[in-house]
């Protein structure tokens, strides 16, 4: 039998974050910096490895993330950028191409007027840096821990914890436990899932030649693929591969020997990046657009993949969520300063309103890109080719595409300028 919440004895928090992945920890760190007096608790279902470097943690795994310019600005303001940057490789140029067709466009940092178009970092390093910093803050952490029961209270929310059996209460519950959130479901918040019928295979690839900070986005009939520049390992150049494929082909590629996999990759990608020499651990992710039926309620916010999980082709999922995180931290801080209830529906709706356009535009961009290139009819192929060719000819269109990738298309989000 579950205990009922005894509100007099229960430990009281300003904010409890469920899910200590990239998004949950980023919010905890921004709040620790901006509202150090707040009592914040982070609950994470999986234990972290030593210094957060464990490879198989669901968020800090063997994937790599392309951080946009907007993410750089947010991490910079939080005093985290210099440490993160030492583990990144800057993207100086992006090549977008369409296999078997003539369309090709190039976007350069110089033309876009920025130092870099993005920064690629392995997720394990994001984990190591963020968790290292978290240990220096007053944020409390319980891992492994989950929420067994959520009880709406007159003011705030009561939580019964699964492992410890403890009951606690909080003014604001932030749900950041990933796509198809179990915690949101406990509150009747459902996720709408639209599968793409594709898997995203990721792996680190050893290259013969230096990559010179060039990222390649290539659209093939089976699905898009990206090769992103990574920092060298033991003096050897590397890149991070994201290769989308239908499930049957993905299963073949996952089962293939390293040599077979590299041959298939070289065949599909060509020699733009030179010869591919080595492949690291391969992991396949089923791809779907997942959106939560609600993002805010009185005393509750849904964030990160739990709110919206996108196709990785445009590398936007975490970057968008980090802009959500920065806006939420800002709105909560301003409400507190003005003496308003920071967990009221009004305050939380203000947050949602501020992020609405950014979320809608980014979702549309990430959803349309793979669909457009998935269609192999000659009319669409002609359209997409002339689109790419036109982009190459029209600097303003290209710079708009670049700005989108950098998280600067939504000026109202305020983190890109
Ligand atoms: C192949 C691939 C490549 C990508 N590349 C990019 C990119 O280049 N750029 C970009 O911006 N984005 C990219 N993304 C998207 C990015 O990975 C996600 O946006 C990001 O991981 C979302 O983080 P999150 O913390 O919301 O969710 P998650 O990373 O899923 O973390 C959720 C956390 O909650 C924990 N948890 C789960 N259930 C519970 C529970 N009941 N109680 C407590 N804790 C729980 C989990 O253990 C986990 O730690 C990519 C995604 C994929 C699949």
**Gap between the terminal Cα atoms of the chain:** 53
CATH number at residue 136: 3.50.50.60
CB of 346 within 8 A of CB of 335? no
What separation in Å is there between the alpha carbon of 58 and the centre of ligand 1? 7
Residue 200 CB–ligand 1 contact under 6 Å:
yes
DSSP per position, 153-214: -SSSEEEEETTT--EEEEEEEEE-S-SS-HHHHHTT--EEEEEEEEEEEEEEEEESS--TTE
Provide the percentage of residues in the chain whose pLDDT is more than 70. 84
Residue 176 CB–ligand 1 contact under 6 Å:
yes
Residue count (the chain): 417
What separation in Å is there between the alpha carbon of 310 and the centre of ligand 1? 10
**Statement: the pTM of the whole predicted model exceeds 0.85:** yes
- Domain assignment present for 61: yes
Does the pLDDT at position 417 exceed 70? Answer: no
What separation in Å is there between the alpha carbon of 43 and the centre of ligand 1? 15
Does the pLDDT at position 226 exceed 50? Answer: yes
Q: Which atom of ligand 1 lies closest to the CA of 320?
A: 11
Q: Whose CA is nearest to atom 50 of ligand 1?
A: 312
Residue of 25, 65, 320 to test ligand 1 pocket, by largest number of atoms within 8 Å of CB: 65
Residue 327 CB–ligand 1 contact under 6 Å:
no
Classify 295 as helix, strand or coil: coil
- Domain assignment present for 207: no
Classify 270 as helix, strand or coil: coil
- 86 burial via Cβ count (<10 Å: 0-12, 13-18, 19+): exposed
Residue 118 CB–ligand 1 contact under 6 Å:
no
Q: Say how far residue 413 (Cα) sits from the centre of its chain.
A: 17
Residue 215 CB–ligand 1 contact under 6 Å:
no
Does the pLDDT at position 348 exceed 60? Answer: yes
pLDDT tens digits for 151-191?
Answer: 999 989 999 999 999 999 999 999 999 999 999 999 999 99
The whole-angstrom separation of Cα 367 and Cα 362 is 8
Provide the percentage of residues in the chain whose pLDDT is more than 90. 68
pLDDT tens digits for 233-256?
Answer: 988 999 999 999 999 999 999 999
- Domain assignment present for 310: yes
Residue of 122, 225, 317 to test ligand 1 pocket, by largest number of atoms within 8 Å of CB: 317
Does the pLDDT at position 412 exceed 50? Answer: no
Residue of 312, 362, 415 to test ligand 1 pocket, by largest number of atoms within 8 Å of CB: 312
Q: Which residues of 304-314 are buried (b: 16+ CB within 10 A; e: fewer)?
A: bbbbbbbbbbb
Q: Say how far residue 411 (Cα) sits from the centre of its chain.
A: 20
The whole-angstrom separation of Cα 385 and Cα 103 is 4
Neighbour count for residue 8 (Cβ, 10 Å): 5
The whole-angstrom separation of Cα 286 and Cα 414 is 32
Domain containing residue 171:
11-193+288-412
- Domain assignment present for 259: no
- Domain assignment present for 407: yes
Mean per-residue pLDDT, 198-221: 92
DSSP per position, 42-105: EE-SS---GGG--TT-SSSSS-EEEE-HHHHHHHHHTT-HHHHHTT-EEE-EEEEEETTSS-EE
304: which 2 tokens? 């990160």
- Domain assignment present for 63: yes
pLDDT tens digits for 86-113?
Answer: 999 999 998 887 766 656 778 888 887 8
pLDDT for res 378: 54
Q: Partners of 127 in the beta sheet? A: none
- Do the strands 118-122 and 89-91 form a parallel or antiparallel pair, or are they unpaired? antiparallel
Q: In which element (H, E) is residue 367 found?
A: helix 345-374
The whole-angstrom separation of Cα 383 and Cα 381 is 5
Q: Which atom of ligand 1 lies closest to the CA of 287?
A: 53
Residue of 28, 54, 56, 63 to test ligand 1 pocket, by largest number of atoms within 8 Å of CB: 63
Residue 18 CB–ligand 1 contact under 6 Å:
yes
Q: In which element (H, E) is residue 408 found?
A: none
CB of 198 within 8 A of CB of 308? no
- Domain assignment present for 229: no
**Domain tally, the chain:** 1
pLDDT for res 73: 94
């Amino acid at each position: 039998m579950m205990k009922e919440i005894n509100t007099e004895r229960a430990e009281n928090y300003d904010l409890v974050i469920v899910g200590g992945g990239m998004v949950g920890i980023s919010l905890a760190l921004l709040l620790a910096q901006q509202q150090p007096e707040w009592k914040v608790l982070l609950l994470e279902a999986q234990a972290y490895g030593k210094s957060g470097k464990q490879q198989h943690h669901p968020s800090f795994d063997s994937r790599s993330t392309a951080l946009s310019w907007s993410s750089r600005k947010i991490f910079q303001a939080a005093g985290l950028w210099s440490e993160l940057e030492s583990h990144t490789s800057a993207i100086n140029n992006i090549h977008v191409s369409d296999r078997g067709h003539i369309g090709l466009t190039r976007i350069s940092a110089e033309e876009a007027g920025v130092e870099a178009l993005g920064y690629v970092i392995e997720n394990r390093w994001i984990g190591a840096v963020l968790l290292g910093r978290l240990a220096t803050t007053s944020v409390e952490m319980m891992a492994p821990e989950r929420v067994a029961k959520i009880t709406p209270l007159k003011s705030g929310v009561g939580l019964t914890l699964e492992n410890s059996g403890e009951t606690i209460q909080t003014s604001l519950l932030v749900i950041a436990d990933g796509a198809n959130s179990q915690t949101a479901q406990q509150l009747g918040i459902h996720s709408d899932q639209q599968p793409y019928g594709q898997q995203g295979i990721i792996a680190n690839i050893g290259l013969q030649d230096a990559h010179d900070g060039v990222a390649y986005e290539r659209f093939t009939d089976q699905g898009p693929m990206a090769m992103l520049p990574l920092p060298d390992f033991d003096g050897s150049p590397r890149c991070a591969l994201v290769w989308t494929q239908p499930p049957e082909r993905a299963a073949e590629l996952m089962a293939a020997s390293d040599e077979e996999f590299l041959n298939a990759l070289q065949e599909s990608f060509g020699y733009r990046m030179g010869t591919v020499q080595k492949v690291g651990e391969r992991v396949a992710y089923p791809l779907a657009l997942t959106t939560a039926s609600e993002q805010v309620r009185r005393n509750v916010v849904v964030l990160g993949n739990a709110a919206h999980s996108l196709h990785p082709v445009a590398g936007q999922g975490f970057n968008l969520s980090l802009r959500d995180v920065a806006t939420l931290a800002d709105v909560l801080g301003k409400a507190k300063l003005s003496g308003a209830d920071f967990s009221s529906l009004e305050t939380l709706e203000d947050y949602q309103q501020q992020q609405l356009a950014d979320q809608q535009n980014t979702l549309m961009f990430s959803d349309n890109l793979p669909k457009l290139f998935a269609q192999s009819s000659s009319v669409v192929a002609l359209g997409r080719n002339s689109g790419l060719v036109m982009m190459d000819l029209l600097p303003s269109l290209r710079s708009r595409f670049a700005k989108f990738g950098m998280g600067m298309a939504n000026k109202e989000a305020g983190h890109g300028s």
